[in-house]
Amino acid sequence: MTLEVYWGSGSPFAWRVLLTLEVKQLPYQSKLLTFSKQEHKSPEYLALNPRGKVPTLKDGDFTLYESLAIMAYLDRAYPERPIFGRTPQETGTIWQKVSEGISYVCEPISRVTGPLLFGGASEKESEIRAAATTVAKELAHLEAAVAKSPWLAGAAISAADIVVFPWIQLLLRAAGKEAAKPLNLGFLPLATRYPHLAAWVKRIEAIPGYERTYPPHW
């Protein structure tokens, strides 16, 4: 059965699915949609995903959207190299980290990166600064976690790493933009500010196939 993944360059949600496939070493057909051409709003695509968002997965006749749902499906359908753990304790710990990532890390990062990447940074300076303070606290938690173990939920890469990683990359990209320089948000250089997190980023970047997941327009 061929797995088909519909994704968009730079989407942190779609990036999760691509990373899941590479970590699980599952072959897939890449269907890269171009946001500027509104390919994610075409009637053909809306028939697969009525929300017109990426990612969407097709596995034969089965279609699924929402990044976490796709990750859970792939792990259940293709259990080798599990990303949601092998024991109840591992599964619980991974889900705790996934939930913390979604609840506390990704959203404030999006409030920092949105205006820096898509415009409006000078008008939204105080909002960016407020969100950046929250992000800094969360990065400190992540730094402590990967100082203790190589991966966020222990000794093996898991859904926890995959859920959070694209947002960290998005943050690093936004923090390096010209519009971010006057704000001096304090995230860069990552290797100096958060050395364990920087080493964790490098570990993920070393995953075979990582380059296939990297946003082509970056």
Binding site for ligand GSH (CB under 6 A): 8, 11-13, 40, 52-55, 66-68
Q: What one-character DSSP code corresponds to residue 79?
A: -
Strand order in the sheet with 56-59: 28-33, 3-8, 56-59, 62-65
Minimum distance from residue 102 beta carbon to ligand GSH (Å)? 9
Query: Which two structure tokens, joined as six digits, stand for 49?
Result: 């995903």
How is 38-63 classified by DSSP, letter by letter? TGGGSHHHHHH-TT--S-EEEETTEE
- Of 24 and 40, nearer to ligand GSH (C-beta) is 40
- Of 109 and 146, nearer to ligand GSH (C-beta) is 109
Minimum distance from residue 163 beta carbon to ligand GSH (Å)? 9
**Cβ–Cβ under 8 Å, residues 145 and 152:** yes
Minimum distance from residue 101 beta carbon to ligand GSH (Å)? 12
**Cβ–Cβ under 8 Å, residues 166 and 15:** yes
- Of 13 and 84, nearer to ligand GSH (C-beta) is 13
- Of 11 and 158, nearer to ligand GSH (C-beta) is 11
Which residue number has the CB closest to ligand GSH?
A: 53
Coil, strand or helix at 211: helix
Minimum distance from residue 195 beta carbon to ligand GSH (Å)? 29
Q: Using N-to-C axis directions, what is the helix angle for 12-23 and 159-175, rounded to 10°?
A: 130
- Of 23 and 146, nearer to ligand GSH (C-beta) is 23
Minimum distance from residue 12 beta carbon to ligand GSH (Å)? 6
